[in-house]
Amino acid sequence: MEQGAVIWLTGMAASGKSTIGAEVCERLRAQGFRVENLDADEVRQHLSPNLGYTIEARDENTKRLAWMGKILGRNGVHTVVAAVSSLRRFRDRAREMCPHFVEVWVKAPLEVCKARDPKGLYARAERGEVNDIAGWHQPYEEPLAPEVVCDTVAESAEQCADRIMARLVELGYTPPEGGVYTPEQEQAVAKRLGALGYL
């Protein structure tokens, strides 16, 4: 059974992670892959409703998400994780746990995220009801070397998904649509497999 990839979308609240993640899931399913979408907010709601948003709680939540991604991946399931995962050490741990890890930085300025605010989180913060938003009250450490950067001010969710899907092909985690690699894609996959010690 082939190892499934873990596509980890990190970014501040309202940056566009869930929207892009849903689009990637839809495309993977359309290609016949088994896929799970682990949205951090939904996982919290169903598994850890009492888990807060302190740094320690965020640490625990991302550890659980990484463990689920690891288990699903080893059973051949591609897993999309949409989680703020505010500190690099959270994401580095997930990378260590998951063999086929793809970090996607969903990038948007704080002011844009505040203006979008689909869940009213930033409005609550403005009213003083919450003071634990990563990137505002708590640190958000930008990724240093993500596999993909999605600028959701300049790109649509569909364009972001295009680039994530292309990167999965480049890394050898999925075949190109139609199953035929270009010579350049074959070279990139061979290089990646060689670096991992498979060739």
Q: Whole-prediction pTM value?
A: 0.88
CA distance 90 to 37: 19
144 band by pLDDT with thresholds 50, 70 and 90:
very high
Q: What is the pLDDT of residue 157?
A: 98
Q: What is the pLDDT of residue 44?
A: 87
Q: What is the pLDDT of residue 58?
A: 94
Average pLDDT rounded to a whole number, residues 135-145: 97
Domain around 172: 6-195
Average pLDDT rounded to a whole number, residues 153-170: 97
- The enclosing domain of 141 has a CATH number of 3.40.50.300
**Domain assignment present for 121:** yes
Q: What is the pLDDT of residue 17?
A: 98
Strand, coil or helix: 195: helix
**Domain assignment present for 1:** no
Identify the helix (H) or strand (E) that includes residue 105: strand 101-107
Helices assigned H by DSSP within the chain: 17-30, 40-47, 55-74, 88-97, 110-116, 121-126, 157-170, 183-195
pLDDT digit string (tens) for 173-190? 999 875 555 566 566 656
Mean pLDDT of the chain: 92
> Catalytic positions, please?
85
Q: What is the pLDDT of residue 82?
A: 97
How many domains does the chain contain in total?
1
